Amino acid sequence: MTAAKASEAWYVYMLECADGSFYTGITTDWQRRELEHNESDKLGAKYTRARRPVRLVWLEPQPDRAAASKREYALKRWSRTRKLKMIEDSSRE
């Protein structure tokens, strides 16, 4: 991935894998990342390669990379139940 410009927005995203598990990551281009997770054997995460197809189920903008990384770390510590509730609540908005 190329270095992002300081003005680019960062996102924390969550994918649901074919096996029902979740993958959480950060990016400046969530559409490109979703494609990479689904189609690339080199650019997608090792975790998602064996669990394709994946689909985007949650997306949250962050002001910068540091904030995105902190939020990603926090979400990865959440229980599956809590993640499902967050996804369900966001789909109602």
| pLDDT per position as a tens digit, 1-45 | 445 555 689 999 999 999 999 999 999 999 999 999 999 888 888
Q: CA geometry: angle at 44 spanning 1 and 7, to 5°? A: 35
pLDDT score, position 7: 63
pLDDT score, position 74: 98
**CATH no. of 10-92:** 3.40.1440.10
Query: Pick from 60, 76, 2, 6: which is nearest to 32 by CA?
Result: 2
Asked whether residue 60 carries a pLDDT value surpassing 50, the answer given is: yes
